[in-house]
Structure 1
Amino acid sequence: MPPRKKNPNGAGSIWQRKDGRYEARVYVPQPDGTRKRKTVYGSTWEECDTKRQELVRRDRLSIPTPTRSAKLSEWLPYWLAEFVKPERKKTTYAKYETHVRRYLIPLLGGKRLESLGVPDVRRMLASVAAQASPATAKESHRVLRSALTAACREELISRNVVQLVPAPRVQPRELNPWSLDETLTFLEASRTDPLYAAFVLAITLGLRRGEVLGLRWRDIDLEHRTLTVRNQVQRVQKELYEDNTKNRRARSIPLPAMCIAPLRWQRLRQREQQVLAGEGWQHSGHVFTTRTGRPVEPRNISRSFERISAAAGLPRIRLHDARHGCATLLFAAGVPARVVMEILGHSQIAVTMNVYTHVSDSTRREAMGHIDRLLKRRKHPG
C-alpha cells in the first residue's frame, strides 16, 4: 500500500475499505447551486486518486457534478433560470418556460438525465402532438434538445438523445396575403383610424408589430425620408416592455413618399393629445401612443386591424401577414432578394426566400408568358 498522502483542504481524501478497494469523497457543486459530497471508488489507490482529481478539477471550474443523475424535473427549471433567462429574450424565455411547464415536466419530469432514452422522447412527441399539434410538438422537441445540449456541455450526460429523434414534420401554414387591390382597399378603409400611420408603415415597410410600436420620433427623419428600426414593444405575460429587434440589429429603411403625410398627421394628432392630457402625459417619445402618452398594447393594434378588415369585407388575415404581402410586392417589383432581406430585418436570406414570399397567379402567368415569347422566337418547321 503506498504511503498515505495528505491532500489540501477541499480536495478530499482517500482510504482503503475493508473489502480492499479504495474510496475517496469530495464536496462538489450541484446543478441547483448547492454543494454535496461525491464518493468515488477504485481497485487501486492510483485509480481512486485519478477519479478524485477529476472531481477536484470540475469543482475548481465550477462544473456541476451531481451526486446522482438529476431528474428532468430538476434540470429543466435550473436550465431555464441559469442558461435561458440571462442570455435569451424575454419572449424566448416565456415560450420555453411554457413548453417545460405544460409538456416536458408532466411527460418526462420523472426521468433522470442519464436514463432518458429515444423511446421516451418519441412517446413525449406523440403525446404533445395529440394534446396540441405537431407544430407544438416540434417546438417541444427544440426546447428539450437545447436543454440537453446544455447538459452535455456541463458534462452531466455524454450524449443528447433528442438529436437521435427527428422532429415532427409540420405542414407550413398556407399564406394568402392580400392582393394589391385588397391592400389599397384596407388603406382607404383605415384612413380615419387613429392607427392609420401604423398600418401604412406595417404594409409598406413590412415592419413587425412590435417594431411599429417601438418606433420613437428620433428614429424618423422626415426631411431625408429615412426610418431606423431599433426597438420593439412586447408584452410577455403581465409585463409590457421594450426590447431590441428580433435579430438584435438596427436597420435603416428609406421611407416611401406615401408614408410622409400619415406620419406628419400622426405627429400633429399626438401634440393635440398631449395638450389635452396636460400633466398626465407620459413623455416616452414613441410615435404611437395612448391618449396619455404610454406605448400602445400590441394586441390592440391587431384588434383594430382585424376590425377594419372585417368591416371592409376583406379576407381575414393577421397583421403579421401584411409583412408577407410587403415581401411579395417587393419581389414582384423586381427588388433583389438581398435588399428585401435587409428591409424586412431577416438574419438569413433563406427566411426571406422560403417564408415571406407568395407568388400570385398573375405573377406565375407573367413568368410563363416570358417562356412563351422566348420559345416562339424560332419558328419550328411545319
Structure 2
Amino acid sequence: MTAPKRKKARANGEGTIYQRKDGRWEAAGYVLAANGTRKRVRVYGTTRKNAADKLAEKIADSNRGLPVATADSTLGDYLTYWLGSVAVHRLRENTHTRYATCVRLHLIPGLGTKKVARLTAKDVRTFLDRLRTACQCCAQGLDIERKQCCAVGECCQKHLSALTVAYVHSVLKSALEHAVREDELPRNVARNVKTTTYQPRRFRPLTAAEARRLLHAARADRLHALYELALRTGLRKGELLGLRWEDLDLTTGTASIRRSLQRTRTGGLTHLPTKTRASERRIALPTECLHSLKEHKERQDTERETAGPDWRDNGLVFTTPTGRPLDPANLTRRFRSFLDRAGLRRIRIRFHDLRHSTATLLLEQGVDLVVIKEPLGNALGSTDDGPEDPPAAAVVR
C-alpha cells in the first residue's frame, strides 16, 4: 500500500497557502491592520509562488510598521486606510478632500461596520436606496444639535440629490477597485449595482446677444479683461487666475497656459499644474482680448502706484487692487454681483458656464469640434508648444 503524499512544509512566517476549487491560489497570514490590531489577510495568485510573493510583500510591510488593508477589515477601517495610504497619492488635494467628506458623512455611517470580504451587491443597493430617501439633517444628527427637523417632529425632508448619491457610489467603487487590483477581493460588488440616472442641471448657454450685453456691461468693471478672456477663449477659472504676465505675448498675441490657482485645505491659495496634460497648452488671443489686456495692464500699473509699499508683486495678471492673488470663491461672488448689476437673465449663470458658452458660440459659427477643443484644453486638444493654426475664438460682435 502506497503511503499518502505528505504536504510540503511551510516556511516560518509563510502563512497558509492552498489551491482553490476555481484553480487560483490563495495565501493567508496575519498582518498589521489599519485599526492597529493584527488581522488575517488573504491574497490570490495564478500560481503558488505568485500568491506566496504577494503575501510575503504584505507581511514585510507589516513588519516595517505599515498598516495593511485586509478583506477581513471592516469597510470603515479599509476606507480610512485607502484614503490615507492610496488615494492621497493619486488625487489632487481638493478631490481627496471631497472623497474624505463623502466617506465620513455617508459611507462609514452607512456601511462602515460591514466586513469588506462579506460585502454584497445587495448591501450596496440597500445602502444607496436608504441614502436617497433619508433626511440628511436626521442622518447626520443635525436635527438634535439644532433642535429642529425631526427633533421637533417637523422633518424638513432634506434629501441628497441623485448626483450626490451617484458620487458616493463612485467613491465606493474606486475604493473597492483598489482591493480587486491588489487581489484582496475577487470582484468589485459595487460595480454590479446600477444607480438611478440623474438629470443634470439644464444649462442654456449665452446667446450671442447675451454675450454682447455681458461684455458691454463688463467694460466698466476692473476685471473686464478676465471676463472677456473667459468668454472668448473658454479658459477655466483657475487657469485665468493663475496667468502671469510672463505667460502672455501681447506682441504675437498668444498665451501659454501652464498652471491653475486653487484654494486647498492645507496650502491655502496654491499654484497647481493644469487639470490634465492636455490642459497645458498655448492659445492664440483674439484681438479684442489683446486690447482689453493692454488696458488692464495700464490699470494695474496705476493701482501699483496707488498702493505704494502695500503692493504685493507676484507677476499675476489678475489680482486684488493691492496685487494679491484673487481667491476663486471671491471671483464667483463678484461675478454673481456683476450679473445682477448688468441685469443678465434671471436664471443663474455660473462662471464656468462662460466656458460652455464659448464652445456653443463656436459651434454655432460652424467651427469644427476638434478645433474648439484646442483652446479649451480638453482631452483631444493639442499639447504642442504652439498651435500650427490660430485656434478659434468666440465671435460676439
Question: Which category of TM-score, normalised to the shorter sequence, fits these structures?
Answer: 0.7 to 0.9
Corresponding residue of 1:30: 33
Q: 157-166 or 298-307: which moved more? A: 298-307
Q: 258-267 or 150-159: which moved more? A: 150-159
- The CA deviation at 1:303 is 1.8
Q: Which runs of 5+ in 1 are unaligned?
A: 15-23, 41-47, 350-382
Verify: 1:327 aligned to 2:359, yes or no.
yes
Verify: 1:106 aligned to 2:109, yes or no.
yes
- The CA deviation at 1:279 is 3.2
Matches within 5 A, 1:93-242: 93-130=96-133, 131-237=159-265, 239-242=268-271
Instruction: Quickly say closer, same or farther: Cα 1:181–1:159, change in 2 above 3 A.
Output: same
1:234 match: secondary structure: strand
Give the counterpart of 2:295 among 255, 265, 276.
265
Matches within 5 A, 1:7-46: 7=11, 10-11=13-14, 28-31=31-34, 36=38, 38=40
Corresponding residue of 1:56: 56
RMSD (Å) for aligned C-alpha atoms: 3.2
Distance 2:28 2:75 in 1: 26
Q: Which runs of 5+ in 2 are unaligned?
A: 18-26, 43-47, 134-158, 382-397
Asked if the contact 2:31/2:39 (under 8 Å) is kept, the reply is yes
TM-score scaled by structure 2? Answer: 0.75
Corresponding residue of 1:292: 322
Amino acid at match of 2:340: A
Distance 2:174 2:57 in 1: 26
Asked if the contact 1:58/1:64 (under 8 Å) is kept, the reply is no
2:86 match: secondary structure: helix
Corresponding residue of 2:336: 306
Asked if the contact 1:128/1:134 (under 8 Å) is kept, the reply is no
Corresponding residue of 1:337: 369
Give the counterpart of 1:244 among 267, 270, 273.
273
Asked if the contact 1:122/1:165 (under 8 Å) is kept, the reply is yes
- The CA deviation at 1:52 is 7.5
Distance 1:156 1:277 in 2: 60
TM-score scaled by structure 1? Answer: 0.77
Distance 1:207 1:287 in 2: 14
Distance 2:8 2:208 in 1: 86
Distance 1:5 1:274 in 2: 79
Distance 2:324 2:288 in 1: 26
- The CA deviation at 1:230 is 1.4
Corresponding residue of 1:317: 349
- The CA deviation at 1:83 is 1.5
- The CA deviation at 1:337 is 0.7
Verify: 1:346 aligned to 2:370, yes or no.
no
Corresponding residue of 1:359: none
Instruction: Quickly say closer, same or farther: Cα 1:206–1:65, change in 2 above 3 A.
Output: closer
Distance 1:308 1:86 in 2: 39
- The CA deviation at 1:98 is 1.6
- The CA deviation at 1:107 is 0.7
Distance 2:341 2:68 in 1: 62
Distance 1:159 1:127 in 2: 24
Distance 2:41 2:207 in 1: 69
- The CA deviation at 1:196 is 0.9
Off by >3 Å, runs of 4+ in structure 1? 1-8, 10-14, 24-32, 34-40, 48-58, 60-68
Distance 1:333 1:119 in 2: 50
- The CA deviation at 1:80 is 1.1
Greater gyration radius:
1
- The CA deviation at 1:185 is 0.8
Distance 1:255 1:104 in 2: 46
- The CA deviation at 1:124 is 2.0
Asked if the contact 1:27/1:35 (under 8 Å) is kept, the reply is no
Distance 1:37 1:122 in 2: 28
Instruction: Quickly say closer, same or farther: Cα 1:119–1:276, change in 2 above 3 A.
Output: same
1:328 match: secondary structure: helix
2:322 match: secondary structure: coil
- The CA deviation at 1:195 is 1.1
Asked if the contact 2:33/2:39 (under 8 Å) is kept, the reply is no
Name the count of aligned residue pairs. 331
- The CA deviation at 1:183 is 1.0
1:224 match: secondary structure: coil
Q: 55-64 or 328-337: which moved more? A: 55-64
